Amino acid sequence: MAPVEFSARAAATPETIWRTCFEPMKWEQWDPDLREVKDVSGDGRCEEGTTCIFAMNDGQEIPITMTNVVKNKSVDFRGGFLKGSIRAEGKVRITPVDPLTSEIYYSFELSGFVGMLVTMLKRREVVGGTKGGLDNMVKLAEEAQVK
C-alpha cells in the first residue's frame, strides 16, 4: 500500500519546528497515537542513528531508528514488531517558504503482511493519526514561534 501523505504550511521557521517537535525527542507531544518515547539513545536528540521505543496508546512498543536526519530539514523513522509482520515507516520534511513560513510534509506507512491488513481494516485511523500528527506539529510550532 502507498504511504499516507499530508503537507501543511506553518507560520513558523524550520528552526522553531525542529526545536518544538524533534529536539529533544518530543514526538509524544504531537503524535496522537503515541503515549511515550522511551529509551532514547545518546543525549535524547533526534540525530542520525538515534534509537528509541515508541510506546503506543494501544500498548504496542515499537523499536524505532531515525535516519536521513538533517537538523531543521528532515527525519525518517522506521521500525517493526510482531517479528517483522508489521513495519512502520515515516518521513518528515520541513521546507522554508519565506522567512516566517514553512511547509511540513509528513508521510506514514504500515507494511509487512499484518501491517497491510491493519492499514486496510483501519485506514481511517491511520489517515487520522497521520493528519492529526501534522496538524499538531503545525499548532505547536506556531505557538512556539509567537513566544
Query: In this predicted model, what pLDDT tens digit does every residue of 54-92 receive, in sequence order?
Result: 999 999 999 999 999 999 999 999 999 888 899 999 999
C-alpha cell at 74: 528532515
CA pair distance 94, 119, nearest whole angstrom: 26
Q: What is the CATH number of the domain that holds 109?
A: 3.30.530.20
Q: Is the pLDDT of residue 147 over 80?
A: no
Burial class (CB in 10 A: 0-12, 13-18, 19+), 108: buried
Q: What is the pLDDT of residue 82?
A: 85
Residue range of the domain that includes 128: 4-146
Q: What is the pLDDT of residue 43?
A: 85
Q: What is the chain's mean pLDDT, rounded? A: 94
Instruction: Reduce the secondary structure of 82-93 to three states and give it as a string.
Output: CCCCEEEEEEEE
Which helix (H) or strand (E) covers residue 139, if one does? helix 123-146
Q: Is the pLDDT of residue 1 over 80?
A: no
Per mean pLDDT, which range of 38-47, 66-75, 124-133 is the poorest?
38-47
Number of domains in the chain: 1
Q: Is the pLDDT of residue 111 over 90?
A: yes
Instruction: Reduce the secondary structure of 52-77 to three states and give it as a string.
Output: EEEEECCCCEEEEEEEEEECCCEEEE
Q: What is the pLDDT of residue 2?
A: 86
